[in-house]
Amino acid sequence: MRPSESSVDTREFVRQLAEENRAFWRDRDVRLEPVAPREVLERQLRYRMRQGVYNELRAAELIAAWIPSVREREIRELLPRQLDDEQRHYQLLRRRLLDRGEDPDGYEPLPEWEALFDWLVAARSRPTIEKLAMFQFAGETQSCEGFETLIRLAEPIDPETAELYRAQILPDEYRHAAIGRHALLVLADTPEIRARAAEAGREMNRRVAEAYASHRRRADRGG
Ligand SMILES: [Fe+2]
Ligand SMILES: [Fe+2]
């Protein structure tokens, strides 16, 4: 069967939006500094793990908040597994910090990072496609990139942590990003909906990029 005009347009839209995201993020994730002295990198990695515990917990919270408002059955049925993954990631990272002799619960989130998750939780009332364009498509795609960098830089410093991210977290995060892509392919079937989805993704990217710069400043101070 020949794909309909609209499905061709939708695939092209998703391809272009993915490209736009990649272009936006080129050199914008400033959280880790590849050429930093070892102790700086160690501090940045430690900060990322502590922040990661918070992120995974909030990710679980926001997916739980969104599920009741996602009416599209084939999207909704993908979300409980994601919720389960985020909860497991939270526990894995928490356990790893404890094994390193660190306090996983003493991390105070940056106000702007906390506000980002509060904004995402409150987005439960927005259309499904906007929510998934924001978190799964834009946010989780960027976090896969971020984890790839983290794994590469953690390898020589803390191989066990690098392996935890590589084997037990990253594969799930790629699947979460794919849920976002799938939602766009299924739901972005008119120019108006595509425009709203693209704008929602851009809004997410802008907010995340602003917060990354504050995270870096704090990690470098030893936060
Ligand atoms: Fe996760
Ligand atoms: Fe995720």
Greatest alpha-carbon span in the chain? 59
The pLDDT, as a whole number, for residue 5 is 67
The Å distance, Cα 37 to ligand 2 centre, comes to 30
The pLDDT, as a whole number, for residue 52 is 94
pLDDT tens sequence across 185-207: 999 999 999 999 999 999 999 99
pLDDT tens sequence across 110-144: 998 999 999 999 999 999 999 999 999 999 999 99
**Residue 180: closest CA among 162, 158, 160, 205:** 205
The Å distance, Cα 5 to ligand 2 centre, comes to 32
Residue 102: phi, psi to the nearest 5? -115, 160
CA distance 129 to 169: 25
**Within 10 A of 210 (CB to CB), how many other CB atoms are there?**
11
The Å distance, Cα 59 to ligand 1 centre, comes to 7
Task: Classify the C-alpha dihedral 126-131-215-30 as positive or negative.
Answer: negative
Q: Which ligand is nearest to the CA of 140?
A: 2
Is residue 197 within 8 Å of 133, Cβ to Cβ? Answer: yes
The pLDDT, as a whole number, for residue 190 is 95
Is residue 124 within 8 Å of 69, Cβ to Cβ? Answer: yes
Region 171-198: mean pLDDT is 97
* Continuous segment of H or E residues that includes residue 77: none
- Which tokens hold the place of 77? 């049925």
Domains along the chain with CATH numbers: 5-26+40-221 (1.20.910.10)
The pTM of the whole model exceeds 0.75:
yes
Residues near ion ligand 2 (Cβ under 5 Å) = 173, 176
Is residue 67 within 8 Å of 79, Cβ to Cβ? Answer: yes
The Å distance, Cα 55 to ligand 2 centre, comes to 9
